[in-house]
Amino acid sequence: MQGVWVALLAFLTCGYFALAGFDYGVGALLRVVGRDERSRRAVLRAVTPFFLGNEVWLVAAVGVLFGAFPRLEGELLSSQHTVFAVLLAGLVCFTVAVQLRSSGWDFLLVGGALVVAVGWGVLLGRVLGGPVWLWGAGMAVVFWLHGAVFLAWRLSGELRARATRIAGVLVLPGAGFAVAAVVTAGSVPRPAFGVTAVLALASLGGVRVALRAGRHRVAFGCSAVLCALPVVGVFGARSVVTASVMADVSSLRVLTWAAVVVVPLVLVFQWATWRMSRAAR
């Protein structure tokens, strides 16, 4: 029972990073890919249909964290309250700016996306024991790469070419971050070092090869895996997610009935979002 809930929390958190990661990447790159108001609107139109659906993963993951991992939630909030406060502010600014966007909202949109990307990196660095500056900068690069790959897939013409060039430039610093993060993450068991590094470098190589071949969906899949790998590192750490931070078995049994209903709804909602967007293109 406990293993099932650990796997569920890992799955939902990986889904959030893999999907919402490109939201923040696109937001941060708004004025880099979009050089004028018309192109910026095209950039936002590409991501807007997916925006709320991607955030559902975070809501579901937080619900699982509060319900099934009450002690872990308490430890994280008490020890990392400043990081969470900054993250929440960034999320609010970014969400509001996307919904109410005009040229005057660009500062909050881009700034909110950057704050969220760096904030998640800082939190991961503190949990995994790596330098927080490395993780903050590195996760920003990873989300930018993911956003650029998404735009290369969903846009066309000069905007696609520009997003492709940006993604190509970001592959090398992404590789540097992947290696440095794995080496410096003190909470990750040693045998996991090589596996995580290989997966990260393989994902980055897949992004480069797929973009050159015009296989944008494959490139997007590779960058999504790259975004999710830090979460895998957290759940692979020795002392982060253990039985001691979980609710008792009787509580987990009750929560399982809610999960049986909620998790399929999250998956169906996500599927419907992508399905309708594909039909609208």
pLDDT tens-place string over residues 9-39: 889 999 999 999 999 999 999 999 998 989 9
Region at 129 (left for phi over 0; alpha for psi -120 to 50; beta for the rest):
left
Q: Give the CB-side neighbour count of residue 100, counting CA atoms within 13 A.
A: 10
- Are 131 and 145 a contacting pair, CB within 8 Å? no
Q: How far apart are CA 58 and CA 74, in angstroms?
A: 17
- Are 253 and 24 a contacting pair, CB within 8 Å? no
- Are 61 and 16 a contacting pair, CB within 8 Å? yes
User: What does the angle CA 38 – CA 42 – CA 47 come to, to the nearest 5 degrees?
Assistant: 150
Q: Answer yes or no: is pLDDT of 218 > 70.
A: yes
In this structure, of 116-125, 134-143, 195-204, 242-251, the range with the lowest mean pLDDT score is 242-251
3-state secondary structure of 188: coil
Instruction: Please report the pLDDT score of residue 104 as a whole number.
Output: 72
In this structure, of 18-27, 116-125, 270-279, the range with the lowest mean pLDDT score is 270-279
Instruction: Please report the pLDDT score of residue 279 as a whole number.
Output: 46
Q: Kindly state the helix (H) or strand (E) to which residue 261 belongs, with its residue range.
A: helix 249-280
For the chain, the distance separating the N- and C-terminal CA atoms, rounded to the nearest angstrom, is: 43
Q: What are the helix (H) ranges across 129-248?
A: 132-154, 157-184, 190-212, 216-236
Q: % helix / strand / coil in the chain, to the nearest 5?
A: 90, 0, 10
Q: Answer yes or no: is pLDDT of 252 > 70.
A: yes
pLDDT digit string (tens) for 57-71? 998 888 888 888 877
Q: State the CATH class of domain 2-280.
A: mainly alpha
CA 135, 136, 137, 140 dihedral sign is positive
* pLDDT grade for 281, boundaries at 50, 70 and 90: low
253: amino acid identity, one letter: R
Q: How far apart are CA 153 and CA 18, in angstroms?
A: 15
Alpha carbon distances (Å) from 128 to 55, 84, 120, 133, 173:
24, 16, 12, 13, 20
Q: How far apart are CA 62 and CA 65, in angstroms?
A: 5
Q: How far apart are CA 151 and CA 274, in angstroms?
A: 15
Q: How far apart are CA 115 and CA 82, in angstroms?
A: 13
Q: How far apart are CA 55 and CA 249, in angstroms?
A: 29
CA 125, 129, 132, 137 dihedral sign is negative
